[in-house]
Structures are given as structure tokens and as C-alpha cells.
């Protein structure tokens, strides 16, 4: 996120300077507008004592450690240690390589698996896979915990180190071992990295009960998202739509200035769109819409547990404006604002991403770790969230077996019209009959067993079913709300 509007500049410089005697000098500047002011520092005697302690350890390690260690490694470790002591999954220190990757991830494209992650309880945790990304197609979900990448454990790694292992060149494979809540054994995913084009906004129109409904899908809030959104809004308006659905499901967030511009384009309200609060509880900025009158058609938002950060800012603004209902399930719950700033000392190549503010909804609520509740709660069918099956050759799932893979297969079969009568993981006669019926309909060997070919075909059919808007219960509920508003 980065500020815009009245908050013109935000400068934080942390200088770690190692002189001939190994002393540290730290200067912190914080300014609004063009005025910069040194932050007041606490008791100088205590501060000097603390610095002497750091210097003492630094010098001792440098002289006595059994291997030579670079100044840069010790300095980076000291900074990383300070960040980790905050126990904040959203604050991080980025060395030059990681800072470059972070900047690219919010630009026009980047190479990787396409998932926003955070460090939660010292475990790399998925916030949300980007829509249409390899991570989403492979089956990763919000709150999945990534334990290993290509055989290497992520335990004990900082966020940036872990991200560097997960990302990589297009065409290479990230083999992930993932722990998922409610699943007793780890899941494994092979995710082929690719160039992730961050065209963040897409649009469609639907014909619904004689009405033309516009649909704008926002995948993330990148540096050009507000421009893409303005273009999409202009195009759907040109189609003389009767209603609009704005979808931020699976949207992990992004830049604050982008969501502020987008909300200003559609929300007419006397309330602020979002409020920024500092550590002392003071509102340092409140963004308002310049829109004088609302759009002449109803607008409905879609959210889910992968809607985070900037996506929640937009959702909160829609909901609390009073006229724009939300459909779906409770959002992720990220109510803090990070600022990425250069660190003096290496030419601005390293960055500190630090949580500096809270953001509040128009009515002043802090949604952190709570999320935003939808106006209308609608869950998707179970098969939308089924885990991928990993079937080994010559080891099919078959009659009288009982495990979680079978439970997932049963949910998938049920979702695509071959009801096995149960989803508890026991492969009974009814499940065998459902598998036989599926195999016959799809010209597979009819043996009643879920082998590699049958599993692949089931998953292909599930993907197609999930992509069919008729099966999207949340989207259909949004259409229904618009129909109700138009009928009044």
C-alpha cells in the first residue's frame, strides 16, 4: 500500500552506519508534506546502553566466531531480528534481491506461483492465491500453511527468504508440502511457475431475467488497477447496464491509493471511504469521495475469506455506505497499513516494509483478525474447495478403503452429478457405482476404481463446473439482489 491525496510524502530513513570503531548511528525522519521532523527518542542513557550492547555482540561475533562472517550478514541479521521481535506477519526487512521481487510483484507482471503469503506464528501462510494463477489452479487456498518447497523446509525462515524459495523462473516447478486445517496429513502440490501478468481487472456482462448485469472482477490492487477499473466501468456503462457486481473474492490487496480512487468512482457518501489511524489513536487521514451522486443502477459486492487488505477497504466502504450490499462469506481480516521505505546505507536497494497505521472502516471499525461480514451470507458448494487427488500408479482408490482422498473424490463426484450418497471417506458400494457411472459417461475403463486417469478426468470436470457461473451460488445471489432492487 502507499498513501496518496493529502499525505504527500512519508519518509523513514533508518541508517545503520558501521564506522571504524563499529558504532551505530540511527536517524529516523518522519514528515508530512514538505516538513520533516526528527522523531523524539526515549531516554538517551538507555539508548546508548542498548547500542553498546548491540555493538559489543557485533564486535565479539566478528572477531571470535569460528568462521568468517561478513558485516552485511550481521547487519541484515540484526535488522531481521528487530522485525521478528514485533511478531507482526506484515512487517519485514527486504534485502536488495527480495526488495526487487517485492517491487515487481506490484508492477505489471512477475514470475512465480501467484499467491500472496504472510508469516503467521512463524509459518508461511497463504493469504490468497491470485485468481487464474498457477497457485489457484493447483488448489491452494487461503490459510494453507506451506511447510516445504522442493524438499527444503521453510521452518525458521523469514518471510522474504521463504518467498525467494517459492518464486522462481517461468516453467520451473515448485513442489509444495502444505498443511491444511481439517486435513490430518500434509497435502502436496506441483505448481508450475509462470509469468503472472497483473492485468488486475476484467469485465463481463450477463443477461439475467431480462436485465443486463455488468460484472467487474478485481484480482489485486496494483499500480495501474484504478485506471483499469475506470476503463472497465466506462465500458460496462456503455452497454447500458441495469446493475453491477464487483468481485473482490480471492483478492489479497495492494496499494491504498488505488482502492481509494476506485471507491471514489462508484460510492457517493458523506462518510469517509476509509480512515487512517496512527499508534496514538489519532486519525491522520480520512479519504472522501468526490462523487456527487451515485450510479443510476444497483451495485453488489462479492467477498470471501481470501478478500484481504485493500479488498476489505473497498468492501467496507461499499457496505457502510448503506446502499451497496455484500454477498459471500467473512473476509480475511487485515486492518493494518504497511509502508515500504528505502534503508539508507546501500543506495536504497534494501527496503523495510513496516506496519505503521491501522485503517478503519467509514463507521470507525477496525476489522483486523475479525474480517468483514457479508450483508447476505452465501457459501459455495463443497466441491469448490475439494483438495486435489494425488493417485499413484497401480495404487487406485477402491472399494472398502477409507481416507481423506476418497472423501474429496466423493465431494467432487457429488458436485458434478454423480452422487455417491456419502462424503465421509468410506469407499462403499454406492461410491463404487458412482465411479462406474462417471467412467462410463466419460469413456474410461469401467472398473469402479479411482485410478490416475479417472482422478484426472474427475478433477477436469470439477474445474469446469467451478468456472460455470450457473454453479457460482454467490454470483447468482448477487444477481438475485439486483433483480429485487430493480423490481422495487
Catalytically active residues are 309, 334, 338
Distance CA(488)–CA(476), nearest Å, equals 19
Beta partners for residue 204, in sequence order: 215
Phi/psi at 108 (5° precision): -75, -30
**24 Rama class: left (phi>0) / alpha (psi -120 to 50) / beta:** beta
E-assigned strands of 256-350? 274-277, 283-287, 299-303, 326-328, 336-342
**Nearest alpha-carbon partner for 11 in 278, 255, 341, 353:** 341
**Nearest alpha-carbon partner for 253 in 144, 360, 334:** 334
Helix 71-85 to helix 44-64 angle, to the nearest 10 degrees? Answer: 130
Beta partners for residue 93, in sequence order: 352
Distance CA(156)–CA(162), nearest Å, equals 9
The three-class DSSP label of residue 124 is: strand
Distance CA(345)–CA(101), nearest Å, equals 20
- Helix spans in 146-301 (H): 159-166, 225-238, 256-266
How many other CB atoms sit within 10 Å of the CB of residue 200? 24
**Cell numbers found for residue 355:** 506496519
**Cell numbers found for residue 28:** 529516523
DSSP string, 295-350: -SS-EEEEE-TT--THHHHHHHHHHHHSS--EEES------EEEEEEE-TTTTT-S
Residue 343: partners with Cβ closer than 8 Å, 6 or more residues away: 13, 14, 15, 16, 79, 350, 351, 352
Distance CA(136)–CA(250), nearest Å, equals 9
The three-class DSSP label of residue 391 is: coil
- The H helix count followed by the E strand count for the chain is 12, 21
Query: Kind of pairing, strands 145-149 and 115-120?
Result: unpaired
Residue 480: partners with Cβ closer than 8 Å, 6 or more residues away: none
Amino acid at each position: 500500500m502507499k498513501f496518496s491525496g493529502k499525505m504527500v510524502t512519508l519518509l523513514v530513513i533508518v541508517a545503520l552506519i558501521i564506522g571504524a570503531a563499529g558504532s551505530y548511528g540511527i536517524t529516523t525522519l518522519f514528515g508530512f508534506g514538505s516538513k520533516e521532523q526528527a522523531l523524539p527518542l526515549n531516554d538517551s542513557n538507555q539508548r546508548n546502553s542498548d547500542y553498546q550492547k548491540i555493538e559489543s555482540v557485533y564486535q565479539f561475533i566478528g572477531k571470535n566466531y569460528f568462521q568468517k562472517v561478513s558485516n552485511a550478514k550481521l547487519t541484515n541479521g540484526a535488522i531481521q531480528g528487530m522485525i521478528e521481535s514485533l511478531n507482526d506477519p506484515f512487517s519485514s526487512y527486504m534485502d536488495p534481491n527480495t526488495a526487487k521481487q517485492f517491487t515487481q510483484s506490484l508492477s505489471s507482471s512477475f514470475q512465480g506461483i501467484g499467491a500472496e503469503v504472510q508469516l503467521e506464528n512463524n509459518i508461511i501462510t497463504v493469504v490468497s492465491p491470485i485468481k487464474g494463477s498457477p497457485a489457484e489452479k493447483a488448489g491452494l487456498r487461503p490459510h494453507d500453511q506451506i511447510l516445504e518447497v522442493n524438499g527444503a523446509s521453510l521452518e525458521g525462515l523469514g518471510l522474504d527468504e521463504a518467498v525467494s524459495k517459492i518464486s522462481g523462473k517461468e516453467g520451473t516447478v515448485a513442489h509444495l508440502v502444505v498443511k491444511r486445517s481439517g486435513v490430518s496429513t500434509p497435502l502436496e502440490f506441483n505448481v508450475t511457475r509462470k509469468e503472472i501478468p497483473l492485468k488486475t481487472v476484467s469485465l463481463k456482462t450477463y443477461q439475467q431475467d431480462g436485465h443486463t448485469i455488468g460484472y467487474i472482477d478485481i484480482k489485486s490492487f496494483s499500480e495501474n488497477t484504478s485506471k483499469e477499473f475506470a476503463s472497465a466501468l466506462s465500458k460496462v456503462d456503455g452497454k447500458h447496464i441495469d446493475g453491477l457486481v464487483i468481485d473482490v473474492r480471492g483478492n489479497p490487496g495492494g496499494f491504498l491509493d488505488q482502492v481509494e480512487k476506485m471507491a471514489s468512482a462508484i460510492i457517493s457518501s458523506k462518510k469517509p471511504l476509509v480512515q487512517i489511524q496512527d499508534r496514538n489513536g489519532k486519525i491522520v487521514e480520512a479519504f472522501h469521495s468526490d462523487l456527487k451522486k451515485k450510479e443510476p443502477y444497483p451495485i453488489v459486492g462479492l467477498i470471501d475469506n481470501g478478500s484481504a487488505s485493500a479488498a476489505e477497504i473497498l468492501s467496507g466502504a461499499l457496505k457502510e455506505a448503506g446502499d451497496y450490499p455484500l454477498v459471500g462469506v467473512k473476509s480475511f481480516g487485515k486492518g493494518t497499513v504497511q509502508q515500504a521505505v528505502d534503508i539508507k546505507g546501500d543506495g536504497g536497494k534494501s527496503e523495510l516494509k513496516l506496519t505503521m497505521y491501522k485503517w478503519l472502516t467509514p463507521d470507525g471499525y477496525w476489522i483486523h483478525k475479525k474480517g468483514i461480514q457479508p450483508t447476505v451470507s452465501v457459501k459455495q458448494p463443497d466441491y469448490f474447495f475439494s483438495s486435489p487427488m494425488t493417485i499413484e500408479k497401480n495404487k487406485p482408490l477402491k472399494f472398502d478403503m477409507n481416507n481423506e482422498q476418497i472423501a474429496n473424490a466423493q465431494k467432487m463426484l457429488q458436485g458434478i452429478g454423480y452422487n455417491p450418497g456419502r462424503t465421509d471417506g468410506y469407499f462403499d458400494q454406492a461410491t463404487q457405482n458412482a465411479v462406474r457411472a462417471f467412467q462410463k459417461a466419460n469413456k474410461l475403463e469401467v472398473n469402479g476404481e479411482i485410478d490416475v486417469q479417472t482422478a484426472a478426468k474427475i478433477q477436469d470436470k470439477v474445474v469446469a463446473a467451478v468456472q460455470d457461473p450457473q454453479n457460482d451460488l454467490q454470483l447468482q445471489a448477487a444477481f438475485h439482489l439486483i433483480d429485487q432492487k430493480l423490481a422495487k
